[in-house]
Each structure stands twice: as structure tokens, then as C-alpha cells.
Amino acid sequence: MKIAFLADPLASFKTYKDSTYAMMVEAAKRGHTVYAFEQNDMALDGGVVYANAAVITMTGDSHDWYRAAPSHETNLGDFDAIIQRKDPPFDMEYIYGTYLLELAEKQGAQVFNKPSAIRDHNEKLSIAQFSQYTSPTLVTSDEARIRAFQKHHGDIILKPLDGMGGAGVFRVTADGMNLGSIIETLTDNGARTIMVQRYIPEIVQGDKRILVIGGKPVPYCLARIPQNGEVRGNLAAGGMGVAQPLTERDAEIANALGPILAARGLLLVGLDVIGDCLTEVNVTSPTCFQEITQQTGFQVAAMFVDAVEAAVAQGKQLKN
């Protein structure tokens, strides 16, 4: 198969932990031709979406890890699969990219995750569709509502709806210290909507990333444990990643959401769970493949490429 990865610059990859790198290596190992391009390599011309894409060869060297052939303009419909792996920010440029990929689908491309599904599933707000699994949650820009929520629940977490890696996450305890300043900052004085949740004490045991591939959970999660007095477990915020088997509750959440999200076109999802509560549904570029594989031996990238191969085969059958 010809598999194209829409990703950030390849030179920026940290190969010891990058999940997209693990996907590429697994795809190449199976004999698939791996292509790469960036979002600004795409163009709509004459009703057709093209990208300046390059064939990528893996070198096996963790530092100088790839060789790229000269890029050439390619009709996106000529690829068997396009893997959307561009990291947030989920800004208007990102959304424009999903529109182009959606047009490419009409040219015959199969895109994973489905562009419209990415747009429809804000990684914070999507949990509201599964409120039976969440901690008490408020979404608003209204200061009075936030203050009432904090007064009722005491210990709370406030965060932006468009953040990643733990950026902009604040904890306010029962004394309400600095609540006004945090509200002003996060909401831009009421102009921006944010999420507020009751604090989940089990965060000290880790913010668990549960990967769901093709509707089925990987049997191990990565518990990202806060360090040095942090409230955030995100690896980008210095959290320590510890792989562990799914708990009964983890499996319950993953098995309930997995088939629903897969049916919407989300081949790969990263569910974030703290304690027994779902906190995020990550759909843009979920990570933690390598950490789980390195610590448990479970081949996450192999499970993912299996799912891509099966989805492409199924898609071709439906067209015929």
C-alpha cells in the first residue's frame, strides 16, 4: 500500500518516543511505501487536492533516521491511506486542513482519523457525550457560574478548551485563592469559553492514557504521574509515564466508547482517565505508543497498522 503521513516536520521527531515514527517504521517493515507531507504542502487546484509528498526510507539510525526522496505533486486520491498526524494547536489552519482532506476523501482517499470526525470531537468537550463516566463538569465563560461551581465543589480544575500537553491547566482549592485572576486569564475577561471540573484526587496515581484502535482498547495504558508538586500528569509537563494493565473500570469505559467512536470514523483515539473518570477524548494525534511497547512488549504500532490495513481493505470492498 501507499501510506501517506500528514505530520509535523520529520526533523522535529524525537524517535525514542514519537508515535508517528513507530507507525512509519511498522508500515515500512511490512513493505508498504511510506510518504510524508506537511499541512502547508497541500493545495486545492482545479477541484483536486494535491500535496507535495516525499517517499520516506527508514535508515535504522535513531538520529539520522530517514532519507526523503525529492517531493513531487501527488493527487491525494492516489494514496491507499492518509494518516492525519499533525499535532495541535487546533486553530483555523488545522480546520482548513481537515476541509482539504475531506475533499480528498471524495477523490477516493481514505483518511484516518476521518477529517469531519476530528472537527466534530473537541478533545475536551467530547466527554459531555459520555457524562456517565465523567467528574462533575462545567463549560462556560461566565464568572458567576464558575464561582458557584467552585463554591459547591471546593477543589476544582480549570482549563482551556483548545490546550494540549497540560498547557493552561490550573487547580483552585477550597480557599478559592487566585480564582478571580485565573478566570480572567483563561476566559480573557469572559470572551473565551473554558472547562471547569471537580478535582479528582486519584491524579496522584496518574492521568491514564488508554489507546483505542479500531474500536478495541490496547490492553495496557500509560499512567502519566505528576512530579515535583505538579497537578498535571502530561508527559509534556514533566509527568512520569508508567505502563500498566487496564483496570476493570478502564476497560469498561474503553469498550463502551470504542465501537461508538470507531463507527464515527475515529480509527485511533486516546482516552484520558483519572481514577474512574473520563477526562478527555483525544482524536488529533494520540501518543504513548512507544512508552507502552517499551515497558510491556505489546506492539501498539503493529495493532495500529493492522487496523489501517483492515480499514483500507474494507473501504475498497465497499467501493466495488
Q: Which candidate in 124, 198, 208, 291 is catalytic? A: 124
Q: Which of 18, 105, 272, 291 is catalytic?
A: 272
Return the C-alpha cell found at 33.
Answer: 511505501
**Residue 114 appears among annotated catalytic residues:** no
Q: Which listed residue (18, 105, 123, 280) is catalytic?
A: 280
The answer to whether residue 106 is catalytic is: no
Q: Quote the CA–CA distance of 196 and 177 in Å, as a whole number.
A: 16
The answer to whether 268 and 112 are in contact (CB under 8 A) is yes
Distance CA 126, CA 113 (A): 15
Beta carbons of 234 and 207 less than 8 angstroms apart: yes
Given a contact cutoff of 8 angstroms between Cβ atoms, the answer to whether 53 and 37 are in contact is yes
Q: Which of 224, 234, 250, 291 does the annotation list as catalytic? A: 224
The answer to whether 264 is a known catalytic residue is no
Q: How many other C-beta atoms are found inside a 10 Å radius of the C-beta of residue 9? A: 8
The identity of residue 109, as a single letter, is A
Which one of the listed residues 159, 207, 208, 250 is annotated catalytic?
159
Given the residues 198, 209, 250, 291, the one annotated as active site: 209
Q: Annotated catalytic, 232?
A: yes
Q: Is 61 one of the catalytic residues?
A: no
The catalytic residue among 86, 114, 198, 232 is 232
Q: Is 248 a catalytic residue?
A: no
Beta bridge partners of 66: 58
Which residues have a catalytic role annotated? 124, 159, 209, 224, 232, 272, 280, 282
